[in-house]
Structure 1
């Protein structure tokens, strides 16, 4: 049985004050919510502060990226072992901003995926097409290629206990969002694509939707059978807006 998961990606935002106040707000807003997993991914320098602020709550710590190396002369990088050491569990990889601004390839992201699995961490693998690819009818082709980078090198079993976040690039931070029917169609394609290799693995993969998810569209998105939660950007920086999304997920999935 899949459990819904809503994760907040804070991106390049925050301060010590923001971490303190935002987590306090989340703890207050979500104290009585049941039936939906919650995780947040602050910038790496705030992970330790966030871990302590989350202590005793049900909110899980995540991180926004990982390097392919575990140690050595790689200035500025952060390893899987380091993230595990500070208590992060869900690690975002393959986000479109990393693919675009840092030219990260499918192959590099697959290496990160393998490292996280080996370290006992949970990859949150982001996939999705650009607006041009969407208009050219290449959504399924792009998503399949990005999944296959892992599937063809590590096997379907690698997706046990993993999260895949479908984020159409044209909907991230734009205010645009796929309709619930559009999002469901792609989520079903993703699950079916993995099922061609292993039905049991495909059935348990948590599939999140990301891309301008907010308190207005969350409930309808989560009512779709293959959408298990959300990877939330901007709305995760406001405790009340993020909590509304979590509550919508919990209600939809408990129904």
Structure 2
């Protein structure tokens, strides 16, 4: 079994900005609260955006970055968690999934100083909110290659300890087989987190 970074919480909740403070007050301290977006780390007139300092003031200590459903600049340097989204359907069908994912990972790696505070999430764009899920084989293939990239381009220790989680229409019906893959360290759950089947997803890795 690969070592898991001791600084990385096992559970995260990513509420809308308006509910960060409420979530932090209600949740057990062992569950980390994360923002869904972060703007630039520099101060300035970015009306309507949320900065790292604002996020910390609200009680969150992590943030999802690079989500394909979000547009505009996001901050990698100085943030607490980096999110990697995957390829579009056209890119997968063109056979360039690996190229797309590695290019995204390099941008993250070039800006990360402390890998103990990073969780990577692979989420193929074609599986976001569509009900389509990558097959366990497809997900494992990307996770395995991503871990191999970290080993070759960062270090073996980082490759072994960094959590790589999968997102993309994970459900109670698909979670167990996905969780059985050797490089699957957890899930980034969307709609299913609001349904009773979320319990099955939580327990899938046990």
Structure 1 and Structure 2 fold alike (TM over 0.5): yes
Question: 1: CA distance between counterparts of 2:179 and 2:77?
Answer: 29
Distance between the aligned counterparts of 2:42 and 2:50, measured in 1?
8
Shift of the 38–74 alpha-carbon distance from structure 1 to 2, 3 Å rule, reads same
In structure 1, how many angstroms separate the alpha carbons of the residues matched to 2:76 and 2:41?
12
Q: Quick one: higher RCO (CA 8 Å, sep 6+), 1 or 2?
A: 1
Q: Map Cα deviations across residues 107-166 of structure 1 (whole Å, 9 max, x no partner).
A: x55xx12121xxxxx314122000000000010000001011122x336x5433311100
Q: How do 1:162-181 and structure 2 match up within 5 A?
A: 162-181=118-137
Please tell me the root mean square deviation across aligned C-alpha atoms, in Å.
1.8
Residues in 1 aligned to 2:96 and 2:156: alpha-carbon distance in whole angstroms: 24
1:132 aligns with 2:90: yes
Offset at 1:203?
A: 0.9
Distance 2:111 2:58 in 1: 27
Distance in 2, matches of 1:144 and 1:193, equals 7
Match of residue 154, structure 1, among 111, 118, 127: 111
Q: Using the alignment, how far apart are the partners of 1:234 and 1:53 within structure 2?
A: 21
Residue 63 of structure 2 is aligned with which of 91, 110, 116? Answer: 91
Q: Aligned-pair distance for 1:53?
A: 1.1
| 1:68 shift after superposition | 0.8
State the alpha-carbon separation in 2 of the partners of residues 148 and 213 from structure 1: 26
Segments of 5+ residues of structure 2 without an aligned counterpart are: none
State how far apart, in whole Å, the 2-side matches of 1:233 and 1:150 are.
Answer: 23
Find the residue that maps to 1:46 and give its secondary structure: helix
Q: Which residue of 2 aligns with 1:48?
A: 21
Residues 52 and 40 (structure 1), Cα distance of their counterparts in 2 relative to 1, 3 Å cut: same
Q: Give me the whole-angstrom Cα distance separating, in 1, the residues matched to 2:57 and 2:199.
A: 28
In structure 1, runs of 5+ residues without a counterpart are 4-35, 117-121
Distance apart, 1:84 and its partner CA? 1.3
Q: How does 1:166-245 map to 2 (within 5 A)?
A: 166-197=122-153, 198-238=155-195, 240-245=196-201
SS of match in other structure, 2:197: helix
1:28-76 alpha-carbon deviations (Å, 9 max, x no partner) = xxxxxxxx8221111101111111111x453221110001134331110
Q: Which has the higher helix share?
A: 1
Length-normalised TM-score, structure 2: 0.90
Match in the other structure for 2:4: 2
SS, match of residue 196 in structure 1: helix
CA–CA separation in structure 2 for the residues paired with 1:164 and 1:214: 20
Whole-angstrom CA distance in 1 between matches of 2:172 and 2:99: 30
Structure 2 CA distance for aligned equivalents of residues 52 and 218 of structure 1 = 29
Kept in 1, the 8 Å contact 2:38–2:65? The answer is: yes
